[in-house]
Every structure is written in C-alpha cells, then in structure tokens.
Chain A
Amino acid sequence: MTPEFLIAAALVLPLIIAAGIAALGKFPNLREGVTIVGSFALFAVVVQLTMMVSAGQRPELFIGEAVPGLAFAFRLEPLGALFAVVASGLWIVNSFYSIGYMRGNRERNQTRFYICFALAICGAMGVAMSGNLFTLFVFYEVLTLSTYPLVAHKGDAAAQRGARIYLLTLLGTSIGFFLTAVMWTWALAGQRLDFVDGGLLAGVAMSPVVASALLLLFVFGLGKAALMPFHFWLPNAMVAPTPVSALLHAVAVVKAGVFAVMKISVYIFGVDLMNATPSADFLIIVACVTIVLASLIAMTKDNLKARLAYSTIAQLAYVTLGALLATQAGMMGGSLQIAAHAAGKITLFMCAGAIYVATGLTNVSDMKGLGRKMPIVFIAFFVASLSIIGIPPLAGAWPKYELMQGAVDGGADWVLAVLIISSLLNIAYLLPIPILALMPLPGTKPPKEFKRPGGAPALTVAAPAFTAALCVLLFFMITPISNFLAPAFEAPGTLIEAELP
C-alpha cells in the first residue's frame, strides 16, 4: 500500500468508525464491535506507517489548498509516528476499558460518547501527521471541539461548568496566541508554514525580541500542554467519565499539546534558533515552576482524579522542558516522556475508574485497605506509580535520565535539582495510595462492600494490568525507540531544501 493511501486511511478510518457507531447506535454489541475492530485496523495502519518512517521514509500526503498558501498537507516523521502509535495503540486498550466502564456504570448517551471518541482520535491522528502549521492548527481545534461533548457528558451543572472552562481556555489560548503565532510565522518565513528539518525559521533574520515573543505565543498558545498559568482546564476536565480522562486527558489531548510544542521547536524554530532565543530560558523556569508547583498541589488533593490531573500537569511540563532545553538529549527525553508517561498515566486513570465502578469511591482517604479486595488493580497502580516516579526497570526511568543529561548539556544544571525534587514529590503523592491500600496500617477500618455486585468488571481490571505490563516492556525497548527517534534531532548543518508541494 502506498504511503499516501495509508495516511489517508489513518485520517478517514476514525471517521468511518464514527459513522458506523452512529448507524449501529441501536445495537450496543455491534456498536462496540465497530470500535474494537476499527481501533485494531487503525493501529495496523499506523504501525505500517511507522515501519516506513523507521526505514528512513517520510510518508507524505497533499490533499489540496483551502486558498493558495494554506495547504492541507501531511508528512509523518519520527516524532509524529511515536505520538500516533501511542494514541492509536492505547485507544485499543481504552476501548475495551470503556466498554467495561460505561456499561458497569450504566452511563447514558453511550453512542454519542463513542462517536466523539472516534472523532477525537481523528483529530489526534491529524495532529500527529500534520505537515504544516495550518494543518496542525485545524486538527488541534478538531480535537478541542470533539472532546467538549465528552467533558460535558454527564450534563449536570458541574459537568457543564467544567466543560465551559475547558472549551474557553483551549479555544482562547489557541485563537489568541497560537493562531497569532501561526500568522506571524507565515509573514516571517516568507508565506510558508511547512515543518522543515532543521527549522523553518532557521535561516530567517529576526531580532531576538521577535523570536522571544513568537516562542512565548507558541508555548502558551498550545494550552493543551497545560503549562502554568494555563493549566486549570485540566483539573476541570476531570468531570468527564474516566475513560475520557484516561485516554484523552492523559494521552491524546494533552500529548497533542506537548507534541506540538516539541514539533514546533524542532521543525519551526530548530535547535540553533531555540538556543539563541532568550525567552526559552524564561520558559524553562516556567516549566520547572509548573513541575514543582503542580506536584505540591497534587499532594493536597484527596480526590484521586484531581491528584492525577495535577500529576499530569507536572509530567507534561517535562516534555515542554525537554523541548525548551533544545539539546539532543533533552529533546530525546521529552519525546520518550510522551510514550512513557502515556503508559503510566493511562494505567493510573484506568485504575481510578475501576475503583469508582466497583465501589463508587473517589477519595484517596477512603481507599485504605481496599487493595485486599482489588489486588490486581492496586498492583497495577503501584507499578505505574513507580514508572511515573522514574524507577528502573520501568519506562519512566529513561526520560528522566535523558532530561537530566540534556539539562547538563544545555548548561542548566539547576534543572537537575528540580527533577530530583519532582521525583521525591511523586513518591510522596503517588506511592502512599497503593501501599496503604495493599498494606493498611493496623486499626484501619475494613473497606465497605462493593457497590456493584461482583466488583469491577473484568475489562476494567484487565486493561490497566495490560498497560502496567507495557510500562515494564517499554523500559527494555529503549534502544529501538531511541534509534527510531534519533533522526528527528540530528539537526542538519545547513537548511535542507524544503519539499514544496
């Protein structure tokens, strides 16, 4: 199959799935069948594309121009392939989990839920494969709009409020800052928006002030990266059903934000310009403040999902930090974090959902001793926590190591201290949960009976167990993964003649 066809397939498949779900809304089993089969098919397509990328190819697809100069163009490179594999692969796991969760919880409007989910995946694929800033922006907004009904799913006042904050923050930052930055880039780069190896703006003469302002607009405009002070939408989005929090607000949506930051720093600014841009240093401080502050806030949250949300904010800032450090190791660390954090955090969220379905509990303080009744869930939680903390042999160890390396290479030694403090804080807010659940202190009241007879549905237990195993597997797969990513960061010495459509 040609690369063009595969890219088109990756974009159209989710739409077909959405249509299929809509058509089969009356038959829940068939409807879920469409989701499952579709997610496997999408993953197969993405894997094929990834093989091509790993063989040195760069699959491209040019659809057409909305007006001259605004092209719908796609080009898959290692970073995008990584994001696409992570999003589509975890979608399979999450689909199984969703079935268990949504049925176990007797949620309403399930057809709408699955349709919006498929549309969101379409948005994520578009973001991953975008070949220029215009395409990236369009799919970024598709992702925002398609996830809005998911956040508002419950329809009560709290869900509406959370969804409103979600939409206004993401639309506001993206229209206000990101779009401005896109238009500015267009003017600076001579009416072009393509992602170019080595950086589109690499050869453009501009003052450090302009470059600084542009970088600020980009980084804060990508509100999905949840860099402080534009992080508050993420805790508010936790009103969504847990599968949404798990796949979208730990993987697809937030990773689309940090992935875009990474992609812009690599392919729009380029390493050299990033290093010459003064505001990058300021943004590194912002990222570090976000890491520490969000971790501290996470410690104060008793609601499990809120705690995980703040943990996500801190962990996302790792990726932003890696992109801003603009050293090869730093960018590698940030990119590895996209995959490692995805596997870890989706596990944690799915565990939280399983606990909620079985017991209706949402607060950490009520979960003491619960591990005796739900051992698999809490062991998975434990493993994923260790991965987030960054303890070998788990996936989260590598990004931290690479980031530290990158910080030293970039001459920002103090970042090391931040990363270490962050790890300690991770231990403090994550580990007590599974430990107290599995080994309650003497005298702890035994947990109440399951709200749902039979406890958590099997699917909601198997899914986190699977992703927890993935955390271990990723640790050992580091060599192929970093070899795969490396070409993205090997900045060519001179500006390569860009491929114009």
Chain B
Amino acid sequence: MILESLLVSAPEWAIDHAPVLIPVVPLIMAAMLALSPSGRLSWILSMVATAASFYFALLTLGRIQSAPGGIIEYWIGNWDVIGIEFRVDALNAMILLLVTGMGFLASIFAWSTIVAEVQKQKISLFLSAFLLCFAGLCGVTATGDAFNLFVFLEISSLSTYVLVAMGASRDRRALTSAFDYLIMGTLGASFYIIGVGFLYAATGTLNMAELAAQLPALSGNRSVQVGFAFIIVGLGLKAAMWPLHQWLPNAYAYSPSFVTMFLAATATKVALYAMIRWLFTIFNPDYAFEQAIFTFILAPLGIAAMVICSFQAVFQTDVRRMLAYSSVAQVGYMILGISIATTAGVAAGLLHLFNHSLIKGALFMAIAGICINYKGTTIRDFAGLGRSAPFTMAAFAIAALSLIGVPLTAGFISKLQLGYALFEHGWWWAVLLVVFSSFLAVLYVGRILQSIFFMPPANPRKTRKEAPLLLLVPLWILALANIYFGIDANFPAGLARDGAIAALGLEAFQ
C-alpha cells in the first residue's frame, strides 16, 4: 500500500535508476563530507544520504513487488554484458531495505553518541567513513557482478577498519582489534577474489546471471569446485560463520558504540546475503557436491555456532562481548536454516536475519545510549540502570526478550519458523539443539536483565539520566518493531518467503 503510493508519486528517473542510486548517493556524499567544515553539517548530510538510500530501496522493493517474481536488470552505462550489472530481485530487495533502513536509523542517533566518543575535529571524517561503509554494503547487496561485489566489499571493509579503530580514544584495545579484523577481513576478501578468479578462468564471465547459466555444464570442473570453496570460506569470514568469527567479539566490544550498532545490524547480514546468492542463485543447489557441503559442513558449523557461542556468551562479563558472541550464535541459526536448502528453511533463515537485525540494532543502540552517560559496559556496571534510565532500559528489555524468542516478539516467530522448517526436513534433532541454544539465551540475557532491573547500582546514583531523545526515538522504533513483527509478521515473513523463492527458484516452492 505505502509502497504503491510511493511508486505513484515518485519521479520517473528515480524509479528507473533506483537500484544504482542506493549506493551512489551515499558514496558521493561520503566524498563531500570529507570536505565539510562542521561536524553538525556532516551529520545532517549523512542523514539526508541514508534517507535517500532508504527511499530508493523502498522504490526498488515496490517495483519488485508490483511484478511477482520480477527482476530489475540495470546495466551501468549501458555496456551490456561486458559492463557492470546491478541486478535486484526479491532477495536483495529485502536486504537493501533492511540495510538502508537500519543505516537511516543509525545515522539519526549517530550525533548523540559520536559527540561523546569521537574527537570533535574528526566527526566529519568519521561520518564520511560511515557513509563509505554504508555505500559499500548497499553495493554488495545490489550488484549483479561477481567482481563488482568484491570492490564494494572492500569499500565497506576498509572503512569498517577505520571505524573500529576510532574506538581507540576510549579504549586502546580498539587498535589491536581493528588490526585483527583487518588481517582476517583481508584474508576473507582475498579468498573471495581468488575464488572469483577460478570461476572466471573456467567460464570467462564475471556476471552473476551469466555464471549461473554456464556453471551447470561445468559441474565436474575442478577449478569451479575450488573457486566455490574459496568463495564460501571468504564470505564465511565476513559473515562471522563459526569458526571464522574470531575477529567479531573484539571488534564489537571496542569500537565506538555507534559503529557496533551499525555493524551488528547490517555487516554480517550483507555477507550472509552474498553467501545465499552464491550458494543458491549462482551455483545450483542440485549439485551433488553442494548437497554434501550443506549437510556436512554448513549445518554442523551453524549448530556449533549456536551451541558453543551461546555457551561462551553465558560466561562473558562485558555486555557488548556477550552480545557479540550471541550474534555469532544467531548467525548459526541463519546458516542452519540455509543449510537445509528448502524454501521454508531459507525463508526462516532470512526472517531470522531480518529480525536479528532489529534485535541487535535495538540492543546496541540502547547500550550506546548508556555509554553516553555512564562509564563501563560490564554486567556489574549495568546494575540498577533500570531505575536510572527506565526508558532506555525498557526498550533494551523488549529487544532482549525478542533475542530469547519470547512469544509476541519478532524473535519468537523466526525461531518457530526455523523449527517448522527443520521438522519438515526431518531434522528433529536440530530442533532440540535450537531449543537448547534458546535456553542458553535465557541464561545470558537473564544475567543482564537481572543486573539492570533487580540489582542495586554499584555506586548509588541519585540522578536519573536517560539517553537523549534523538537516541530514544529510533531506539523505540526498533523496540516497537520487535513487538509489532511478533504479532503481525506478515510483512517480513512475506519478504523472506519471496526472497527464498527468488533464491531457490519457483519450482522449489511447489
């Protein structure tokens, strides 16, 4: 409904060029911000850029939905097959909406937290790096070209290393974690590009659709298989697939709290999208070769993440590290859903991806709000905050319950969908592990909530210090979305189902 009216009111050029404008607007704005004289102006401009991207993502989604099974093919510069194609179907339209939406909400609250955590003269550059990262993520999602995906991946990765390192003014360990991330991320990107090289050698094309058309004939080709392995490992590193997640806890714990929120809500999600794209659209899941990888590599890794990282989360003392381990565990749920390679499974994985973005976005945004007024992010430091900052912490609690998967929250719906898909596939033992991991989530989330709401503060604070309104508004949008999508989940579930159908092909749906 809203999408239709948007489409009607939008100018024709916007509709036509929407897919490419999503990354281009923030990319250009990023360059301009580097010259901007004032931090506040930069912030306003970054909001304008992300809002524009969000608008174009909505237009793109509207175009996709108005034609069922529709695909937008956008040839940059009209170079046709030798050029770069942007290719959007229901799958990446959903991810684009998610990334731009979260990016927009992030840029709104950015000001209140970065003035507290970033030196004044660096704010413009900081926001410029944020926009670069945002543009890179959008580009990865929208592109239909395997090499172009690498380029955008590097744009987002390089700017992420900078953003993580900016946490050094608060905690010097941010530098080593940025360096760790740099090494690991570069390895991942190199693996990816090596894999693309192998495929190029075998097929002579970098266009994803073209690759998809040629690869079935090459199913026994060794260099294709090697390329496949390199690509999946490379993207797995970026998506923090267990055991390639080592960079993530430190990066989340020591970067500026704004960066943590943005990365947690978008970065791993986009890498996971790229993985789905490669696994299902470009390679065909009918490969006997690929089936084995699904069952014997992806599923065990997803389960290992779910169980082991949830365990690790239970024993963390720092809230941000705890939630970081929880993120790796949640990626495990998504991988598990993907690994059964049914429409229901992939749809459940995508729905969980969507919901988890809302959950972790809200959680880390609330933590950012706390970091403005209070020192320290250990569980002990959070004691008594339920009384000092009730609005911030109420939103935190809603998102935390959603993380557990309590009924009437979004997290419940996606876990239920995942359980259904697993039972349908006959993997009842995996359901037990999902449930066990949820119980671990009760334990670690319970530790935080108990500290917030039932423990007296370590050093009693008399004053009530709520997070600023600029943070509370996007925070509560996310918290209420968690509840709304737990009661009426038709919108995200529809997006996820369409996305899964787009990934697996319509015949898989029957």
A131 CB → nearest B CB, Å = 16
Q: Given the complex, which residues of A lie within 8 Å of B428, measured CB to CB?
A: 184
B439 touches A180 (CB 8 A): no
- B47-55, B77-85, B329-337, B401-409: which one contacts chain A? B401-409
Q: Given the complex, which residues of A lie within 8 Å of B442, measured CB to CB?
A: 168, 171-172, 175
* CB contact between B439 and one of A67, A145, A172, A183 (< 8 Å): that residue: A172
Chain A 145-200 interface residues, beta-carbon cutoff 8 Å to B: 145, 152, 155, 160, 164, 167-168, 171-172, 175-176, 179-180, 183-184, 186-187, 191
Q: Given the complex, which residues of A lie within 8 Å of B422, measured CB to CB?
A: 183
A116 CB → nearest B CB, Å = 14
- B167-175, B266-274, B308-316, B485-493: which one contacts chain A? B485-493
* CB contact between A180 and one of B407, B413, B435, B486 (< 8 Å): that residue: B435
A222 CB → nearest B CB, Å = 15
Flag whether B438 is at the interface (Cβ < 8 A).
Answer: yes
Flag whether A454 is at the interface (Cβ < 8 A).
Answer: no
Chain A 387-437 interface residues, beta-carbon cutoff 8 Å to B: none
Q: Given the complex, which residues of A lie within 8 Å of B439, measured CB to CB?
A: 171-172, 175-176
A184 touches B423 (CB 8 A): yes
* A168-B446 contact, Cβ under 8 Å, with A67-B490, A180-B419, A187-B423: yes
* CB contact between A67 and one of B407, B419, B432, B489 (< 8 Å): that residue: B489
Q: Given the complex, which residues of B lie within 8 Å of A186, measured CB to CB?
A: 420, 423
Flag whether A4 is at the interface (Cβ < 8 A).
Answer: no
B407 touches A141 (CB 8 A): yes
Flag whether B436 is at the interface (Cβ < 8 A).
Answer: yes
A185 CB → nearest B CB, Å = 9
Flag whether A206 is at the interface (Cβ < 8 A).
Answer: no
- List B residues at the A interface (Cβ < 8 Å): 405-408, 413, 416-417, 419-420, 422-424, 428, 431-432, 435-436, 438-439, 442, 446, 450, 454, 486-490, 493
Q: Given the complex, which residues of B lie within 8 Å of A28, measured CB to CB?
A: none
* A175-B405 contact, Cβ under 8 Å, with A67-B413, A180-B432: yes
Chain A 63-107 interface residues, beta-carbon cutoff 8 Å to B: 64-70, 72
**Complex formed: what's the CA distance from A1 to B413 in Å?**
34
Nearest CB in chain B to that of A176: its residue: B435
Flag whether A142 is at the interface (Cβ < 8 A).
Answer: yes
Q: Given the complex, which residues of B lie within 8 Å of A168, measured CB to CB?
A: 442, 446
The bracket for how many chain A residues form the interface is 20 to 34
A101 CB → nearest B CB, Å = 24
B431 touches A66 (CB 8 A): no
B177 CB → nearest A CB, Å = 34
Q: Given the complex, which residues of A lie within 8 Å of B423, measured CB to CB?
A: 183-184, 186-187
* CB contact between A145 and one of B406, B416, B438 (< 8 Å): that residue: B406
Chain A 443-483 interface residues, beta-carbon cutoff 8 Å to B: none
**Complex formed: what's the CA distance from A171 to B413 in Å?**
16
Flag whether A137 is at the interface (Cβ < 8 A).
Answer: yes
A–B Cβ pairs within 8 angstroms, 12 of them: A66-B486, A66-B487, A72-B487, A160-B454, A180-B432, A183-B416, A183-B419, A183-B420, A183-B423, A183-B431, A186-B420, A191-B420
B430 CB → nearest A CB, Å = 11
Flag whether A138 is at the interface (Cβ < 8 A).
Answer: yes
Main SS of chain B's interface residues?
helix
B450 touches A141 (CB 8 A): no
Interface string of A32-73 (1 = CB under 8 A from B): 000000000000000000000000000000001111111010
B454 touches A66 (CB 8 A): no
B424 touches A187 (CB 8 A): yes
- List A residues at the B interface (Cβ < 8 Å): 64-70, 72, 137-138, 141-142, 145, 152, 155, 160, 164, 167-168, 171-172, 175-176, 179-180, 183-184, 186-187, 191
* A137-B446 contact, Cβ under 8 Å, with A65-B490, A66-B489, A67-B417: no
* A66-B406 contact, Cβ under 8 Å, with A179-B435, A186-B420: no
B424 touches A137 (CB 8 A): no
**Complex formed: what's the CA distance from A160 to B486 in Å?**
29
**Complex formed: what's the CA distance from A137 to B412 in Å?**
11
A175 touches B438 (CB 8 A): yes
Q: Given the complex, which residues of B lie within 8 Å of A145, measured CB to CB?
A: 406
A187 touches B493 (CB 8 A): no
Main SS of chain A's interface residues?
helix
B493 touches A67 (CB 8 A): yes
B421 CB → nearest A CB, Å = 9
Q: Given the complex, which residues of B lie within 8 Å of A155, measured CB to CB?
A: 454
Q: A67-B493, A145-B406, A176-B435 are in contact. List 6 more A-B contacts (CB 8 A).
A: A66-B489, A68-B493, A141-B408, A155-B454, A164-B450, A167-B446
A64 touches B419 (CB 8 A): no
Nearest CB in chain A to that of B496: its residue: A67
B413 touches A70 (CB 8 A): yes
Interface hub of A70, A171, A187 (most chain B Cβ within 10 A): A187
Q: Given the complex, which residues of B lie within 8 Å of A70, measured CB to CB?
A: 413, 416, 489
A182 CB → nearest B CB, Å = 8
Q: Given the complex, which residues of B lie within 8 Å of A167, measured CB to CB?
A: 446
**Complex formed: what's the CA distance from A17 to B438 in Å?**
33
Q: Given the complex, which residues of B lie within 8 Å of A141, measured CB to CB?
A: 406-408
Nearest CB in chain B to that of A145: its residue: B406
Q: Given the complex, which residues of B lie within 8 Å of A187, measured CB to CB?
A: 420, 423-424
**Complex formed: what's the CA distance from A131 to B439 in Å?**
27
**Complex formed: what's the CA distance from A184 to B493 in Å?**
20
Q: Given the complex, which residues of A lie within 8 Å of B424, measured CB to CB?
A: 187
Nearest CB in chain B to that of A135: its residue: B407
**Complex formed: what's the CA distance from A194 to B412 in Å?**
19
Nearest CB in chain A to that of B423: its residue: A187
Nearest CB in chain B to that of A173: its residue: B439
Q: Given the complex, which residues of B lie within 8 Å of A176, measured CB to CB?
A: 435-436, 439
**Complex formed: what's the CA distance from A167 to B449 in Å?**
13
Interface hub of B405, B420, B450 (most chain A Cβ within 10 A): B420
**Complex formed: what's the CA distance from A64 to B490 in Å?**
10
**Complex formed: what's the CA distance from A191 to B423 in Å?**
11
**Complex formed: what's the CA distance from A160 to B450 in Å?**
9
B230 CB → nearest A CB, Å = 37
Q: Given the complex, which residues of B lie within 8 Å of A65, measured CB to CB?
A: 490
Interface hub of A167, A183, A187 (most chain B Cβ within 10 A): A183
**Complex formed: what's the CA distance from A164 to B443 in Å?**
11
B407 touches A137 (CB 8 A): yes
Q: Given the complex, which residues of A lie within 8 Å of B413, measured CB to CB?
A: 66-67, 70
A47 CB → nearest B CB, Å = 28
B342 CB → nearest A CB, Å = 12
* CB contact between B407 and one of A138, A164, A184 (< 8 Å): that residue: A138
A155 CB → nearest B CB, Å = 8
Nearest CB in chain B to that of A69: its residue: B420
**Complex formed: what's the CA distance from A141 to B404 in Å?**
13
Q: Given the complex, which residues of A lie within 8 Å of B405, measured CB to CB?
A: 175
**Complex formed: what's the CA distance from A152 to B446 in Å?**
15
A139 CB → nearest B CB, Å = 8
A193 CB → nearest B CB, Å = 10
**Complex formed: what's the CA distance from A186 to B493 in Å?**
18
B472 CB → nearest A CB, Å = 21
**Complex formed: what's the CA distance from A69 to B490 in Å?**
11
B408 touches A138 (CB 8 A): yes
**Complex formed: what's the CA distance from A138 to B493 in Å?**
19
A1 CB → nearest B CB, Å = 25
A438 CB → nearest B CB, Å = 42
**Complex formed: what's the CA distance from A152 to B386 in Å?**
16
Nearest CB in chain B to that of A174: its residue: B407
B454 touches A175 (CB 8 A): no
